[in-house]
Structures are given as C-alpha cells and as structure tokens.
C-alpha cells in the first residue's frame, strides 16, 4: 500500500513534474514539426532572426548610414547647387514651360507626354553639361565609400572576416555597371510602352489606351525585377565570400555561382527584402500625407521639415535593412556550408 501511494496519484509534486515534462516534450514536438526536418535551413527564419541581431547592435546600422550618407550627400549638394545656379539665370540658360507641366493630367496623356518631352528638351543641354563631370565623380566616390564602409560594417560584425578592399571595389564596380544597365532597360521599356499605347494610337487618330500602358508598364517592371533578382544574388554573395575565404574578384564570383544550394535561400531573402522595401515606401507615403488635411493650419516651413524628416527616416530604415540583408546572406551561407558538411 505504501508503494502504491508513492506514484503520481499519491504524490502531487511528482504528478506536476510529469505534467511539466509532458508539456515540454509536446512543445518540442510542435517546434520540430513547424521547423521541418532536422538540418533544414529556411531563409525567412534567418531574415527575422538577423533583424533582431542587427537591432541589438546599432553600431552596424550607424556605420552603414555614415558611409552611405557621406557618399550621397556631397553629390546631392553639388547637383543642388548647380540646379540653383541655373534657376538663377546662370549658364547654360534654360527656358522651361512650368505652366504646361502644372497642367498635366492623366485624362490628356498625349498633352502630358508632349509637356514632358518639351521640358526634357529644354533641360537636356544643362543636364548633359552637369552629368559629364558629376556622374563619374559621384560614381567614383560611391564605389570608394561603399568599399570602405561595407568593409567596416562587416568587420564590425565579425573580426575574422578579411579586409579585401580591392576585390570589393571590383565587385561593386561590376554590380554598379549591371545595375545601370537594368535601369536603362527599364527606362527603354517605359518609353516603348508610351509609344505603343499612347503616341502610336494618337498618330493614327485613335484614343490612347491607358489600360494597355499600365499593363505594359507593370509587366515590364516585373520582367526587369525578375531578371535583376536572378543576376543580383551572386553579386551580393561574392563580396561576403571574398572576405570570408580571402578570394579575388573572379574566384569569389565563381564561388558564389557555385553555391547553388544557397541560391534559392538567398532569393527567398531577397524577395522578403523587396516586400519590406515596398512596405517602407508605402509607410513613407502615408506619413508624408498625414499633415495634408491640416495644411491650412500649418506653415509651409513645418510641412517642409516634416517631409524632410520622413525622407531621412525612410532612408535610415532602408540602410538598416541593407545591413540585415548582408548579415542574413552571410549567416545563411555559413549555415548551408555546415549543413553540407554534416
């Protein structure tokens, strides 16, 4: 009888211990079921986990903001100063019909395109003279600051990473060239969509097709986005492998292209990053429109300060997620390598 009373029914503390152990086993089983088979690496889980890690290490985001803004601010200041001089009557002289631009409406697409074409023709000589020296200078400054800044960020993250500055400079130059080509392709598709849906029907006396123009614009943008996503992930991984494995430009690209198992996970992370960028843009637009119902009560100076603050907050948020994306790529590649070894 004494032995029978020694079981869980006769000992409430032992019963509670057994119940707690059962709950722990049940929770572990549910967690294993949600995470999938053992050893399976999921890109979205890495992204969420790295967000928390980078958030608790604000120095990484601060370094990212410093190098990006240090590279972009001088170029924007030079461009703004030059535009201000032109607006004040400095050479070259620009005659811009602002009334036609202000009268543009989506219900008159042909007139809107004509106004944009006339404005572009008016500012083109000044834009060419400005771009002839500003774009190469800005590109060189950006590449140098990107090399130094990203090296500082990643070595702040992990001291074992090697400082491969020459390799990173070459890789970033290659990526910038391909990105410029992607933007040019997108601009060409936008122009061709306007020709097909607006100017060509107008030349024949027919009504422009705004629905067709929107469809071509959306499909063309998605096409360029998919092509860039396919090309971009090895270019994002290669600098990380160069610092991790101490490789040159060619070797790091070959190593990135050879990491096919990680490629799908990196595309998954990039897709999440794209959704985050869209969400941040929507939030920025919403916050920008918040003071508009009270525009009659607020001064123009307050509205300008509000919009500048929203833009700076949006840019800082993007820089934070750029760090998250790089760290997620590095962590994911390391996890996939350990998984392949196991």
Name residues whose C-beta falls within 8 Å of residue 11's C-beta, 6 or more positions apart in sequence.
5
Do the Cβ atoms of 209 and 197 come closer than 8 Å?
yes
What is the percent of the chain with per-residue pLDDT over 70, rounded to a whole number?
Answer: 81
Number of folded domains that form the chain: 1
* 320 in a structural domain: no
* 182 in a structural domain: yes
* 248 in a structural domain: yes
Instruction: Match 């060189």 to its residue by tokens.
Output: 140
Above 50 in pLDDT, residue 37? no
Do the Cβ atoms of 210 and 197 come closer than 8 Å?
yes
Question: How much is the pLDDT for 56?
Answer: 93
* 110 in a structural domain: no
What are the tens digits of pLDDT across the range 274-312?
888 889 989 999 999 888 887 777 788 888 899 999 999
* 141 in a structural domain: no
Question: How much is the pLDDT for 206?
Answer: 81
Q: Band of the pLDDT at 87, cuts 50, 70, 90? A: low
What is the domain range of residue 176?
162-258
Do the Cβ atoms of 101 and 119 come closer than 8 Å?
yes
What are the tens digits of pLDDT across the range 88-135?
665 566 676 677 767 777 667 777 777 777 777 777 777 777 778 888
* 103 in a structural domain: no
d(CA 152, CA 327): 13
* 215 in a structural domain: yes
């Amino acid at each position: 009888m004494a032995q029978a009373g020694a079981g869980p029914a006769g000992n409430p503390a032992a019963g509670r211990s057994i119940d707690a152990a059962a709950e722990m086993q049940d929770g572990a089983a549910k967690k294993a079921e949600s995470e999938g088979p053992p050893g399976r690496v999921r890109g979205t889980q890495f992204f969420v986990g790295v967000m928390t890690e980078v958030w608790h290490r604000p120095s990484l985001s601060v370094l990212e903001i410093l190098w990006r803004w240090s590279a972009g601010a001088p170029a924007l200041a030079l461009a703004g100063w030059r535009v201000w001089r032109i607006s004040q009557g400095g050479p070259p002289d620009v005659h811009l019909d602002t009334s036609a631009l202000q009268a543009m409406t989506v219900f008159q697409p042909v007139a809107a395109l004509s106004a944009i074409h006339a404005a572009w023709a008016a500012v083109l000589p000044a834009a060419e003279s400005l771009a002839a020296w500003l774009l190469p200078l800005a590109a060189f400054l950006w590449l140098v600051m990107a090399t130094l800044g990203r090296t500082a960020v990643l070595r702040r993250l992990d001291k074992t990473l090697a400082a491969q500055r020459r390799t990173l400079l070459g890789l970033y130059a290659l990526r910038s060239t391909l990105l410029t080509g992607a933007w040019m392709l997108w601009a060409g598709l936008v122009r061709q969509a306007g020709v097909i849906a607006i100017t060509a029907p107008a030349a024949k006396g027919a009504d422009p097709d705004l629905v067709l123009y929107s469809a071509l614009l959306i499909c063309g943008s998605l096409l360029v986005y998919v092509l860039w996503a396919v090309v971009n992930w090895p270019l994002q991984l290669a600098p990380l492998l160069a610092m991790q494995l101490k490789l040159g430009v060619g070797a790091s690209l070959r190593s990135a292209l050879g990491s096919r198992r990680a490629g799908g996970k990196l595309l998954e992370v990039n897709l999440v990053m794209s959704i985050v960028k869209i969400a941040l843009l929507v939030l920025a637009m919403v916050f920008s429109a918040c003071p508009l119902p009270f525009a009659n009560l607020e001064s123009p100076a307050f509205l300008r300060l509000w919009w500048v603050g929203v833009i700076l907050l949006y840019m800082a948020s993007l820089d934070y997620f750029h760090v998250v994306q790089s760290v997620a790529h590095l962590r994911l590649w390391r996890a996939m390598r350990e998984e392949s070894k196991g």
